[in-house]
Structure 1
């Protein structure tokens, strides 16, 4: 298994991968958030490659922000104003930069779930 950070998004309310979800990756240090990368999921709910890898992947605290409100609006789901879930932030720590971290997101308009995958 290669090292680095990957993610994918599944829409469990519709039983399919979540296409065109904007995802931002931040590194958190000393009370500041540094935007490292912004990507959009493909038709399989995945990115073309890792969010972070190689020398850029280091131990520390990170945050992925998933723009799920925009996704649900684009797929025709009626949302309240403001929506219950608009942006889903997932803050996590990387203790071993020589490992692979996979952070998937399972979404529905009213909830989400995540875990450290493989």
Structure 2
């Protein structure tokens, strides 16, 4: 049975964020909003770049909405803006390491 609900927007001042559509790799899993994603191809230069969950310097942005990747998926990726870490689930917060913050210089992380 389908479940419906609303997601908390983890952005501070959404109007100041920049997002792009992206292709996500089919992992058969649901990826939560705020999860770092990236890959070998640059999303800014290649509209067909395929992204996956990342934990290193290949990170290119944060997934804006929780997304089911079964069969591959299109998603929105935030590449610039302000993020309230307190609005992310604890497991996603744990993914936002210093390496991720370094890989995303145009995203400011706050705890508000």
TM class by shorter chain equals: under 0.3
Structure (1/2) with the larger helix percentage: 2
Q: Which protein has the larger Cα radius of gyration, Structure 1 or Structure 2?
A: 1
TM-score, normalised relative to structure 2: 0.25
